[in-house]
Structure 1
Amino acid sequence: MRTARLLCRSQLSWRTAKLALSHDGLRAHLQGTSMKQHRLAAAVALVGLVLAGCDSQTSEVELKSPAQKASYGIGLNMGRSLSEEGMDDLDSKAVAQGIEDALAKKEPRIKDEDMIEAFSFLQTRAEERMVALNKEAAEAGKKFLEENGKRDGVVTTESGLQYEVVKKADGAQPKESDVVTVHYEGKLTDGTVFDSSVARGSPIDLPVGGVIPGWVEGLQLMHVGEKYKLYIPSELAYGEQSPSPAIPANSVLVFDLELIGIKDQKAAEPAAE
């Protein structure tokens, strides 16, 4: 389930994974030891750069055949990713020339070592930009929580989790070992919704102990039937990792959370033979 994976505690940064795959794939390819998936990753990245960067060309491209549409989709996704990485100063003409030379089976215009060095430079610069952005996000999150904690009705726990009781009830409280049924909507502090079971019209079941720490703590504060608003510091969510493009690193997450029920695990277990 997509949502369960998103809320899982153990997450590798999608940005870090993408950068590592692209870099390792290019290095392996240039050294003649690439695996099939590395070659594909490098090729997709290059195609994406061309389609994302050549505005004058993409405006004239036909998008009729499945191949054309798929190519455009690759370019669109890669362009968005590159923009988020701050890599918006690449020379799209040089990228296009590289692909053209490769398709025409021409000799490379620069040495493999120069390409590796240049790619390493771009990756290092992108990582430096990410560090700066992460620092800004952490400072903004800290300021948000400081101000939010002053509001009436907001409770701040010892861990730093903040919550408001939106609707009270007197049902049972779950334990960390329980599986619960919940409805939720997750937002960034600016109100941007990044995930919502409410919008999908279907609550989800999840293990209390298998989600991000802010949820683990928040769920055990709740009674069945209650609705809470959780304000989760980044260190109780994904920290410096970015689990998806919709959730930047060091983000404070805001959840409207309804505890619908606690699953009867014994009833759910298959009968012994």
Structure 2
Amino acid sequence: MKQHRLAAAVALVGLVLAGCDSQTNPELETPAQKASYGIGLNMGKSLAQEGMDDLDSKAVAQGIEDAIGKKEQRLKDDELVEAFAFLQKRAEERMAALNEESAKAGKKFLEENGKREGVVTTESGLQYEVLKKAEGDQPKATDVVSVHYEGKLTDGSVFDSSIERGTPIELPVSGVIPGWVEGLQLMHVGEKYKLYIPSELAYGEQSPTPAIPANSVLVFELELLAIKAAGSEQ
């Protein structure tokens, strides 16, 4: 995380805190008040995710108050730079440790999962099991398909589901994460698979959303409903 990002985040949190005028229960009636609360809530979650959960909210608010009131800074610039550098380094160290722990847990999960009856492990490391067989056509990398899916982490928490939304999605086979690209081409129309996707075939060391930590193994129940591309054999 870059220093200016941390500084901007702290400033936003401070702005929200100062706007609440130090009230324990600020009013949340007007659109501006609700938006202010939303900014603080989202920024607080972001900071906590990045290991900034011990920031002193009173000190943040004081900094904003001093700046708005054009008061003399209580700390010199070089002290602030040193403090930001410390927080940045600490956050990076925490994130590296969490990423390493996640990678180890994912590897262990796949090793154990691969021993289960019915689970097939491909050369790439993708694991799958067939939940429902069918005799339809198989898509190619150049096709567009219609699918229903539900994505979970290995702890069972759902991060995305077309099933919950009640609407299947159409997507190009080659336009998704590598684990899906491979898995879809193994399937026949009408089949339902369970895919266990190693992080290197998903998002790797990136965290695309707070719901998907870096180095996560992803588990998908995937049903291939149709091949939509013109010219495909159906």
Please give the TM-score of this superposition, normalised by the length of structure 2. 0.91
Offset at residue 211 of structure 1 (A): 0.9
Offset at residue 46 of structure 1 (A): 2.1
Offset at residue 47 of structure 1 (A): 2.9
For 1:58 and 1:258, the matched residues in 2 are separated by: 51
Q: Is the 8 A contact 1:51 1:76 kept in 2?
A: no
More helix by share: 1
Match of 1:162 in 2: 127
- Runs of 5+ in structure 1 lacking a partner? 1-18, 28-41, 268-273
Against the structure 1 CA distance between its residues 172 and 240, is the aligned structure 2 distance closer, same or farther, given a 3 Å change threshold?
A: same
Structure 2 counterpart of 1:248, which letter? P
For 2:15 and 2:151, the matched residues in 1 are separated by: 34
Aligned-residue CA RMSD (Å): 2.2
Against the structure 1 CA distance between its residues 124 and 58, is the aligned structure 2 distance closer, same or farther, given a 3 Å change threshold?
A: farther
For 1:245 and 1:58, the matched residues in 2 are separated by: 29
Q: Is the 8 A contact 2:14 2:63 kept in 1?
A: no
Find the partner of 2:117 among 152, 163, 167.
152
Offset at residue 107 of structure 1 (A): 2.5
Q: Is the 8 A contact 2:145 2:228 kept in 1?
A: yes
Please give the TM-score of this superposition, normalised by the length of structure 1. 0.79
Match of 2:192 in 1: 227
Match of 1:173 in 2: 138
Find the partner of 2:217 among 237, 245, 252.
252
Q: Is the 8 A contact 1:49 1:78 kept in 2?
A: no
Find the partner of 1:107 among 72, 77, 81.
72
Match of 1:143 in 2: 108
Deviation readout 1:113-159 (Å, 9 max, x if unpaired): 33222212211110110000000001111111111111111111111
Q: Is the 8 A contact 1:101 1:108 kept in 2?
A: yes
Against the structure 1 CA distance between its residues 223 and 79, is the aligned structure 2 distance closer, same or farther, given a 3 Å change threshold?
A: same
Find the partner of 2:183 among 201, 204, 218.
218
Is 1:75 matched up with 2:40?
yes
Match of 2:61 in 1: 96
Deviation readout 1:3-40 (Å, 9 max, x if unpaired): xxxxxxxxxxxxxxxx33xx23578xxxxxxxxxxxxx
Q: How many residues align?
A: 230
Identical-pair percentage: 74
Q: Is the 8 A contact 1:51 1:58 kept in 2?
A: no
Q: Is the 8 A contact 2:153 2:159 kept in 1?
A: yes
Match of 1:127 in 2: 92
Find the partner of 1:116 among 67, 81, 89.
81
For 1:199 and 1:122, the matched residues in 2 are separated by: 39
Find the partner of 2:49 among 80, 84, 89.
84
